[in-house]
Structure 1
Amino acid sequence: MSFTPEQTTELIRRRRAIFPKTYIDKPIPKAIIEEVLENANWAPTHRFTEPWRFRVFTGDSRARLGERLAELYKMKAQGELFSERKYEKNLQKPLRSGCVIAICMQRDPEESVSEWEEIAAVACAVQNMWLTCTAHGIGSYWSSAKALQQDREFLNLQEGERCLGLFYMGYHNLPELPGKRGPIEEKVTWM
């Protein structure tokens, strides 16, 4: 099967950040989650280090993730900084999602490529995930989840591994959203 340039362009330009607050209560089939992950596995990778690693939260594990995110928020936002609304948002966001995937990077033990190249490879893997979700009509959103990035124990991170955020996924009923990009001519210098 081949894809036309027009089909490829349409898929890329239809990709949007769709936030969990808009997700509906509809489970994502495991086969689609596996396809999303397999497509991530086909991202470009310098020297074939394949640095992407994933922790998948579905079913009851989403509640444990929400509890941990809320707990981390509560520990950070002491006193006047604490907001009950933000606490509840952290608690509920994973539960609103059909699936949440922790995006992790395993640093090449040989350090044969620079760290930024491995981070870029993981970002390419996430783009593949995002495009696959878009093709299936699944909304998705990559959150930095800063507090969780430091929680090595909860994610069972291995030596040389770090968390780069959470990828939320869920079906939604939103109409197709318009894209917002400035003109490419403002961002290109021809040499």
Structure 2
Amino acid sequence: MIRSLLFISALIASSVNSLAFTNPATLRRSVARFTDAPVDSTVVDAALEAAILAPNHFMSEPWRFYIPGPQTTASLCNLNPEKTKMFEKVPNWLVVTMKSENEKHSKLWLEDLSAVSCAVQNFMTSLAGEGVGSKWMTGALGSPPEAILGTVKAGEGEELVAAVWFGIPEKELEGAKAPPRKLGVAGTLTKLD
């Protein structure tokens, strides 16, 4: 009996080890073309839960998230008339701001900014794990941060960190080729004694 249980345990362990596991971080791609298919709200909720698990020194929780509805999305799309038609093809937006109590550019302010950036990456990686594409578009929107903050009615003292587009991509994420990195790991890693 014990031999049978040991055999079954070994068989299960062997099967689990042989299962293919895809790291969602390797699936994340910047996606600009989406289908009209809706993203399940539970996927978005789970991605937001993943976002707030970002490393956060002193647990300041500096991130603030805004998911605009149809009226606010239309206002965001009209902030840059030259890009309105392109923006209108984006099914979902997430605007992420930072609320830091620390002096701008101080060590703790930079840690808050890093935490919010990690939260954005967690959000996008979680979405990628569910086959949902995203693109961090902040600067490419061509709109002043103050205009975006005003459109989402961000709180006083909040600073824009990210405007993220997301939706079901026209092409599946799995198998999508990553853009080549010029330096790669070898060009950026220094191993020390």
Please, what TM-score do these two structures have when normalized by structure 1?
0.76
Find runs of 4+ consecutive structure 1 residues off by over 4 angstroms: 109-113
Confirm whether residue 154 of structure 1 aligns to residue 163 of structure 2.
Answer: no
Distance change >3 Å, CA 69–CA 38, structure 1 → 2? farther
Q: How does 1:27-106 map to 2 (within 5 A)?
A: 27-70=38-81, 87=82, 90-106=83-99
Is contact 1:105-1:163 (8 Å) kept?
yes
Is contact 2:27-2:129 (8 Å) kept?
no
**Count of residue correspondences:** 167
Deviation at 1:136, TM superposition (A): 1.2
RMSD, matched Cα: 2.5
Distance change >3 Å, CA 150–CA 39, structure 1 → 2? same
Confirm whether residue 13 of structure 1 aligns to residue 26 of structure 2.
Answer: yes
Distance change >3 Å, CA 105–CA 28, structure 1 → 2? same
Is contact 2:90-2:167 (8 Å) kept?
yes
Confirm whether residue 126 of structure 1 aligns to residue 120 of structure 2.
Answer: yes
The whole-number CA distance in structure 2 between the counterparts of 1:183 and 1:126 is: 22
Please, what TM-score do these two structures have when normalized by structure 2?
0.75
Confirm whether residue 184 of structure 1 aligns to residue 185 of structure 2.
Answer: yes
- Which structure features the higher share of helix residues? 1
> Could you say what secondary structure the match of 1:150 adopts?
helix
The whole-number CA distance in structure 1 between the counterparts of 2:142 and 2:161 is: 8
- What are the ranges of 5 or more consecutive residues in structure 1 without an aligned counterpart? 71-86
